[in-house]
Chains A and B, each alone.
Chain A
């Protein structure tokens, strides 16, 4: 029984970066061995294991056979590292000591892992009383030092390294149990566990096949560090004479022996000491390296690609001058006129990452005084990066590499930190998507507002407070004076966004930039906040740059709109113009893809494929692989933004507007 494919209007085309051959290996160890220190540690560890296994072959002498003729000799060709008080070869003893050290630490960690992980997964998954009792026992166990428990156990059940390490293993188990439980608790709340339950998978199957693999990375890190601790404890016990007996060799007992003869042969303590130090260091560094390699990025992203040499970008850079010339060409006289009165003029803005990928390529638009301009597009098209570039708030490794941003005649690109801070506070306000995370959770709303007001004006504390009350009532927060004393978590999402807007308005900005200001809000609250923004713009006579993926938001409050695709502005027009008579196929496709209140008898229009990543912008028109109107000439050359549209076929195409 095979399934027949359901006919799809748009099987997503497999792009080059999608092809199976381009796959990169992922995995913690793959990343770990790319760190030099971790690689060295792994090599040393491997060497130690080889030495331990091949001890009988490598050791030149019997490590236990006394030879009184050669007591306490210095290193020589016969005894490379000298001899101890009974004339035994130090090198041979060191080699056999490796065996003891590795076996003892592996033993205790293995006991700890088996015991700890099974208990941790069990109590974490079952929860309830099992969890409570298990964790209280763990608390008690953890308050006992491992060494102390080992000593006590040895006192009760007699000498022997094995028994001592059993005790150490039990103490380690508590640590592993905590880690395992914490991961299980976090993972069992994830939706994929719910999905597995809905599939009817058995609890054991969910636990071992779904949840357990996620515990591995933190446990491996913990285990590596525990190995170091165990090695140290073994050496300590043997040093105290309750570890290995006379039939085995340990670095700890070698140290003990050297202690009595340190005046006669000072070198005796150095070699086992160095061996212990090195081994513990190796385990700890290995733990660090593995932790870095298993950081969350590992599972999520970790994909790094070198951008292909972007010839289209170069062409753009070369032709930037022409592109600008074209936008302000006499043919579009009204636009040029409007541009002269513009508050914000962005021209040829290009933003590049340090790897050379162009996130924004030659973006040009202007915003008039008192105007609301919407920048719209799908995620990954560069609209938020454009806003960040205007404000000089680009993330590390990303910078403006071309073009200009002028605020009422002041050039903003290339301004220093302090000058930009002044602009941001006094002339441009900013509102982000998530209001709760835009406010500090540990200070009251009043404190945050007054701080913002005072940092940009000479007001006293009282005056700033009055201003804060004024601002909160301006944005429609009820009982503003009382609410100044509240913390952000006491506000609902919509109210918190009003507070953020109030903060952005603190110093009467000429321009307010709002990046997806209503995306995180409920529908009815979104409508309120949009009404508020539109009303404020009118009352305060400021300009508004609204960045959104929602064409509905643009239709609601914007005067003009810029449509962005793949880092370029592809169409600029009045909202009515762009929506009723779109001139770029991408605008048309976006409008058509929106459900528009019809019943589902006809399928929604779709755009095949998806937005390409920034390192793989297509040649020619960047939209051509997804465009239904694309012809051969769309695939090459640079296409300028001409009379508000970036399309070779703009003149001949008759595109459909919003339904």
Chain B
């Protein structure tokens, strides 16, 4: 049984806080020697409390994966801070302390490429355990079987190679690997997006079960608002690298305050002809949505104004900041946040 950590008290300071995070990727140097870069994430701020889930939704190019990667130190923290358990992640230098690697883990979208094809499942899991809790090999074998068991896989899978498992089973292994260090926060980067419906629901249930048992926090990155709503306590909606909306899951889902969140919700398909007809009607009401602008050349002012039906001149000026026009907890980056809710 993983011990519950002391930091799990409700109302304590967040386990992870991201403050004004900006992630820039260098794109290369022009002839004049000026380096160009792509700001994938711009001035994003949020926090995750212990044992809670923050869901990040957005379409491709919204920067949601870059946020996860920056937190994991796989992408540069160009500006702002990522503070995990009181430690500044950006200030670790070349080598992060072992405690950080132990506490922070990841589950990627594609379990085929996130598992080493030439290592057995047992070897993959054993590495994580051994790195942080070295132990004799017999005990290690037992621990590996315990991990497999905790994600609902039989023990003989330890001798298997990734290609011998199905997609859902591989994703369970990826979750087991994340659990091998007994982490406090797991970044789930589109962790269920590549799975079939029935497998997807199995993996979602597993993740939530593990959270109840172990008190682990999730940063749950996905493009499906219905899935995110199901797993999250808080939802952040990203558009072109900026947070359009951030708030408690019920409020963001039931009463979306940002036009983009509304469009996203109306575009999310639901497997119910009557509800879907309502959503389609709402989608048409919000008007045809044009193509998203390139992240390389974001429009001035509100990044969504080129596709927004509520657009006025003020939207084209300064970039709107997150305010709370609707409820004290629901933050919306829209000049018309109070009126668009309709």
Q: What secondary structure prevails in chain B residues at the interface with A? A: helix
Q: Which chain B residue lies CB-closest to A626? A: B198
Q: Which chain A residue lies CB-closest to B270? A: A552
- 13 A–B contacts from the bound complex (CB under 8 Å): A3-B149, A6-B213, A12-B168, A195-B177, A201-B131, A210-B119, A213-B118, A522-B292, A527-B283, A553-B269, A596-B270, A599-B249, A604-B204
Stretch at the interface among B7-15, B17-25, B81-89, B100-108: B100-108
Determine if A598 and B230 form an interchain contact, defined as CB atoms under 8 angstroms apart.
yes
Does B327 touch A at the CB level, under 8 Å? no
Does B268 touch A at the CB level, under 8 Å? yes
CA distance A554 to B273 in the complex (A): 8
Contacts A3-B1, A524-B289, A595-B230; A194 near B74 (Cβ below 8 A): yes
> Which residues of the partner chain A approach B274 to less than 8 Å between Cβ atoms?
580
Separation in Å of the A656 CB from the closest CB of chain B? 12
Q: Which chain A residue lies CB-closest to B104? A: A198
Contact digits for A583-616, partner B, Cβ 8 Å, 1 yes 0 no = 0000001110111111110011111001100000
Determine if A589 and B60 form an interchain contact, defined as CB atoms under 8 angstroms apart.
no
Residue of B169, B174, B250 touching A12 (CB-CB under 8 A):
B169
CA distance A527 to B269 in the complex (A): 8
Separation in Å of the B244 CB from the closest CB of chain A? 13
CA distance A1 to B206 in the complex (A): 22
The 10 A-B residue pairs with the shortest CB-CB distance, nearest first, are A552-B269, A200-B101, A551-B271, A607-B198, A191-B114, A658-B272, A3-B146, A527-B267, A604-B201, A522-B59
Separation in Å of the B51 CB from the closest CB of chain A? 13
Determine if A198 and B198 form an interchain contact, defined as CB atoms under 8 angstroms apart.
no
> Which residues of the partner chain B approach A10 to less than 8 Å between Cβ atoms?
152, 202, 205
Determine if A192 and B113 form an interchain contact, defined as CB atoms under 8 angstroms apart.
yes
Does A306 touch B at the CB level, under 8 Å? no
Determine if A191 and B267 form an interchain contact, defined as CB atoms under 8 angstroms apart.
no
> Which residues of the partner chain A approach B100 to less than 8 Å between Cβ atoms?
200
Which of B113, B147, B181, B269: most chain A Cβ within 10 A? B269
Which of A492, A591, A610, A659: most chain B Cβ within 10 A? A610
Q: Which residues of A contact B (CB under 8 A)?
A: 1-12, 14, 19-20, 23, 26, 190-192, 194-201, 205, 209-210, 213-214, 299-303, 378-379, 492, 494-495, 522-528, 530-531, 549-556, 575-576, 579-580, 589-591, 593-600, 603-607, 610-611, 658-659
Determine if A14 and B154 form an interchain contact, defined as CB atoms under 8 angstroms apart.
yes
Does B326 touch A at the CB level, under 8 Å? no
Separation in Å of the B64 CB from the closest CB of chain A? 12
Contacts A4-B1, A8-B206, A191-B113; A551 near B213 (Cβ below 8 A): no
> Which residues of the partner chain B approach A494 to less than 8 Å between Cβ atoms?
291
Does B253 touch A at the CB level, under 8 Å? yes
Contacts A20-B156, A200-B131; A555 near B143 (Cβ below 8 A): no
> Which residues of the partner chain A approach B146 to less than 8 Å between Cβ atoms?
2-3, 5
> Which residues of the partner chain A approach B242 to less than 8 Å between Cβ atoms?
none
Does B46 touch A at the CB level, under 8 Å? no
Determine if B269 and A191 form an interchain contact, defined as CB atoms under 8 angstroms apart.
no
CA distance A256 to B147 in the complex (A): 67
Does B4 touch A at the CB level, under 8 Å? no
Separation in Å of the A558 CB from the closest CB of chain B? 9
Determine if A555 and B273 form an interchain contact, defined as CB atoms under 8 angstroms apart.
yes
Determine if A9 and B177 form an interchain contact, defined as CB atoms under 8 angstroms apart.
no
Determine if B127 and A556 form an interchain contact, defined as CB atoms under 8 angstroms apart.
no
> Which residues of the partner chain A approach B276 to less than 8 Å between Cβ atoms?
552, 555-556
> Which residues of the partner chain B approach A554 to less than 8 Å between Cβ atoms?
271
Residue of A301, A379, A524, A556 touching B163 (CB-CB under 8 A):
A301
Contacts A524-B264, A597-B253, A603-B208; A300 near B198 (Cβ below 8 A): no
> Which residues of the partner chain A approach B253 to less than 8 Å between Cβ atoms?
597
Q: Which residues of B contact A (CB under 8 A)?
A: 1-2, 59-60, 72-74, 96, 98, 100-102, 104-106, 108, 110, 113-119, 127-128, 131-132, 142-143, 146-147, 149-154, 156, 159-161, 163-164, 166, 168-169, 174, 177, 180-181, 196-202, 204-206, 208-210, 213, 223-227, 229-232, 249-250, 253, 263-264, 266-276, 280, 283, 288-289, 291-292
> Which residues of the partner chain B approach A596 to less than 8 Å between Cβ atoms?
226, 270-272
> Which residues of the partner chain A approach B210 to less than 8 Å between Cβ atoms?
6
CA distance A20 to B100 in the complex (A): 37
Residue of B106, B264, B271 touching A658 (CB-CB under 8 A):
B271
Determine if A200 and B197 form an interchain contact, defined as CB atoms under 8 angstroms apart.
no
> Which residues of the partner chain A approach B164 to less than 8 Å between Cβ atoms?
23, 303
CA distance A474 to B1 in the complex (A): 61
> Which residues of the partner chain B approach A300 to less than 8 Å between Cβ atoms?
117, 163
Determine if A378 and B198 form an interchain contact, defined as CB atoms under 8 angstroms apart.
yes
CA distance A658 to B98 in the complex (A): 47
> Which residues of the partner chain B approach A4 to less than 8 Å between Cβ atoms?
1, 150
Determine if B198 and A575 form an interchain contact, defined as CB atoms under 8 angstroms apart.
no
Residue of B154, B225, B230 touching A604 (CB-CB under 8 A):
B230
CA distance A199 to B123 in the complex (A): 13
Determine if B159 and A20 form an interchain contact, defined as CB atoms under 8 angstroms apart.
yes
> Which residues of the partner chain A approach B131 to less than 8 Å between Cβ atoms?
199-201
Determine if A526 and B108 form an interchain contact, defined as CB atoms under 8 angstroms apart.
no
Q: Which chain B residue lies CB-closest to A528? A: B289
Determine if B271 and A591 form an interchain contact, defined as CB atoms under 8 angstroms apart.
yes
CA distance A9 to B72 in the complex (A): 31
Residue of B127, B163, B230 touching A209 (CB-CB under 8 A):
B127
Residue of A1, A200, A209 touching B96 (CB-CB under 8 A):
A200
Determine if B223 and A198 form an interchain contact, defined as CB atoms under 8 angstroms apart.
no
> Which residues of the partner chain B approach A531 to less than 8 Å between Cβ atoms?
280, 283
Determine if A6 and B209 form an interchain contact, defined as CB atoms under 8 angstroms apart.
yes
Q: Which chain B residue lies CB-closest to A609? A: B198
Residue of A23, A199, A210, A575 touching B101 (CB-CB under 8 A):
A199
Determine if A191 and B209 form an interchain contact, defined as CB atoms under 8 angstroms apart.
no
Determine if A200 and B98 form an interchain contact, defined as CB atoms under 8 angstroms apart.
yes
Determine if A590 and B198 form an interchain contact, defined as CB atoms under 8 angstroms apart.
yes
CA distance A26 to B106 in the complex (A): 29
> Which residues of the partner chain A approach B149 to less than 8 Å between Cβ atoms?
3, 5
> Which residues of the partner chain A approach B280 to less than 8 Å between Cβ atoms?
527, 531, 556
CA distance A450 to B161 in the complex (A): 48
Determine if B74 and A200 form an interchain contact, defined as CB atoms under 8 angstroms apart.
no
> Which residues of the partner chain B approach A210 to less than 8 Å between Cβ atoms?
116, 119
CA distance A495 to B205 in the complex (A): 36
CA distance A553 to B200 in the complex (A): 17
Determine if B227 and A595 form an interchain contact, defined as CB atoms under 8 angstroms apart.
yes
> Which residues of the partner chain A approach B166 to less than 8 Å between Cβ atoms?
610
Determine if B177 and A199 form an interchain contact, defined as CB atoms under 8 angstroms apart.
yes
Q: Which chain A residue lies CB-closest to B291? A: A492
Q: Which chain A residue lies CB-closest to B267? A: A527
CA distance A328 to B196 in the complex (A): 33
CA distance A209 to B275 in the complex (A): 51
- 10 more CB-based (< 8 A) A-B contacts, given A10-B152, A579-B272: A19-B156, A192-B114, A195-B114, A523-B268, A525-B291, A527-B280, A595-B227, A600-B230, A603-B205, A606-B205
Determine if B226 and A594 form an interchain contact, defined as CB atoms under 8 angstroms apart.
yes
> Which residues of the partner chain B approach A575 to less than 8 Å between Cβ atoms?
273
Q: Which chain B residue lies CB-closest to A659? A: B272
Separation in Å of the B105 CB from the closest CB of chain A? 6
Separation in Å of the A402 CB from the closest CB of chain B? 28
CA distance A104 to B127 in the complex (A): 40
CA distance A214 to B113 in the complex (A): 13
Separation in Å of the B334 CB from the closest CB of chain A? 17
> Which residues of the partner chain A approach B169 to less than 8 Å between Cβ atoms?
12
Residue of B113, B196, B292 touching A549 (CB-CB under 8 A):
B196
Contacts A6-B210, A595-B229, A610-B168; A198 near B105 (Cβ below 8 A): yes
Determine if B143 and A3 form an interchain contact, defined as CB atoms under 8 angstroms apart.
yes
CA distance A385 to B102 in the complex (A): 45
Determine if B291 and A604 form an interchain contact, defined as CB atoms under 8 angstroms apart.
no
Separation in Å of the A235 CB from the closest CB of chain B? 37
> Which residues of the partner chain A approach B113 to less than 8 Å between Cβ atoms?
190-192
Determine if A192 and B116 form an interchain contact, defined as CB atoms under 8 angstroms apart.
yes
Determine if B264 and A523 form an interchain contact, defined as CB atoms under 8 angstroms apart.
yes
Residue of B150, B154, B200, B264 touching A3 (CB-CB under 8 A):
B150
CA distance A494 to B225 in the complex (A): 20
